[in-house]
Amino acid sequence: MLSKKNSILNFSSHSLFGRFILASIILLPIFIFAMGSALINTFKYSQIDAEKETLQAQLYGVLSVTEWEDNQLNLPPALAEPRFNQQQSGLYGFIYNTDGVELWRSRSAELLTQSLYQESDSFSRAAITFDEVTIEKSQLLNRYSYDLEWVSDDENITPLRIVIAQDATILATELASYKERLWRWLSIMTLVLITLQLLIMFWGLKPLRRLSGQLKELHENKIDALSNDYPKEILPVTENFNTILLHEKNQRERYKNTLSDLAHSLKTPLAVIQNHLGNQKAHNTIIDEQVSRIDQIITHQLKRAVTKTKQQGIAQHTHKLYIKPCIERLTTVLAKVYRDKKITFNNMIDDTIFFTGDEADLLEVLGNLLDNACKYGNSAVTMSAGINNNNLQIFISDDGNGIKENEQETLLARGQRGDTAQAGQGIGLSVVCDIISSYGGGITLKNSMAAPHLKGCCACIELPIK
């Protein structure tokens, strides 16, 4: 079927701009989220490492003032770190023996009722552990433990475990604050990057929009060829298109010249025949009418040959042509041509139905289709017409054998025929298609179901109302 197709821009699948935007909207947030998660983990582990170093430094500070005398642990009442001396300061120190018996605690831990000794762990010399522990009132602490063996002057060895703990909410607060700032800035960066991506794609696809505009101008005959100042990625396409365009232009010129030569060659013999028939009008009325019709066709084809585009040819003819009288003129002639078949023509077209365009085009289309209906039908041909969705529809049906489903498209191609036993070159339907498509219309061939006695082929013409 030849029909006018409207190209609709589909944002995701039929648009390069849409594909790029969709990919950016999906992939960029995923990338930003992955990058943000990696930065948060990196910051978290760096904070944990810094926390370990801080607690280790505090442990060494406690260890430096620790003394073991007479099987008794001695530490100064006040330590150098002020937080050890202030209750509930968030920094706590403990010293245990291997049985978990508390030997010392800092003044800051005096109000704590829960031991920070890790009973499940076995004592191991120089062992260091770092973990989180929850104590009373759901307080979360970072705990740093160090196992050592104290050697006294008399070479007695005493295993000790020093535990330094610090309030973990400080680290959690810093991490939460970092996350909030990071996600805020990454969200802003995402919006900025998507905006920049839009601008970049809009700028990058500008040559394609320009190419589309030039193709439209080319179609409207405002320019003769595409310009050659496109980016190097598009330039081969435009150059090849111009080459094809030039080839087609030369080919059309050859066709035009050939058609013009043929028309001029035929007009002189036809003029002689007409002059000869002028003396025998009573006897040769039909022949004279057909010769005049041939002369009209040649004149019309000459006009089409010198017309630059089909659209320009259409614009020159915008008067109304009522379809029913044209059908009657054609059926009168075809009834005589196919008088042996005694074909019954049923013209059901309303008197008000009209076509806007060239009369020769209308007669060419209807003449070819009616001729096919008479040729392949048996004894009846029906014509009807109507208006549907602002389109003119004309139906021509016959009572022949119809057409095969797989032939409904191929019969519209030049040189294709459904019945090689009948005379003809197989170009009639192709000419019909060319004329109809020049008006922005379409034609379909199908088996008729209009009436029980009409089960042959039905040709449906659809033309936009101008």
CA 412 to chain centre: 32
Average pLDDT over residues 393-412: 78
Percent of the chain scoring above 90 in pLDDT: 18
Paired strand residues for 69: 72
Work out the pLDDT band at 98, boundaries 50, 70, 90: confident
Window from 12-16, 154-158, 348-352 with minimum mean pLDDT? 12-16
What DSSP designation does 451 have? B
Greater confidence, 417 or 242? 242
Average pLDDT over residues 93-121: 83
Q: What local confidence, expressed as pLDDT, does residue 317 receive?
A: 46
Rg of the chain's alpha carbons, rounded to an integer? 48
What DSSP designation does 456 have? S
Taking the C-alpha atoms of residue 169 and residue 134, their distance in angstroms, rounded to an integer, is 11
Type of residue numbered 353: I
Nearest 5°: CA angle at 84, between 137 and 47? 70
Average pLDDT over residues 278-288: 56
Return the residue matching tokens 């009834």.
335
Greater confidence, 300 or 426? 300
Work out the pLDDT band at 179, boundaries 50, 70, 90: very high
Return the residue matching tokens 């009522």.
322
Work out the pLDDT band at 282, boundaries 50, 70, 90: very low
Taking the C-alpha atoms of residue 380 and residue 399, their distance in angstroms, rounded to an integer, is 6
Q: What average pLDDT does the structure give for the chain?
A: 79
Query: Could you tell me which of 362, 394, 371, 354 has the C-alpha nearest to residue 297?
Result: 362
pLDDT digits (tens, 9 = 90+) for 202-259: 888 888 888 888 888 888 888 888 888 888 888 888 888 888 888 888 887 777 766 7
pLDDT digits (tens, 9 = 90+) for 17-55: 777 788 888 888 888 899 999 999 999 899 999 999 999
Return the residue matching tokens 């202030």.
86
For residue 380, pLDDT over 60 is answered with yes
For residue 200, pLDDT over 70 is answered with yes
Q: What local confidence, expressed as pLDDT, does residue 314 receive?
A: 40
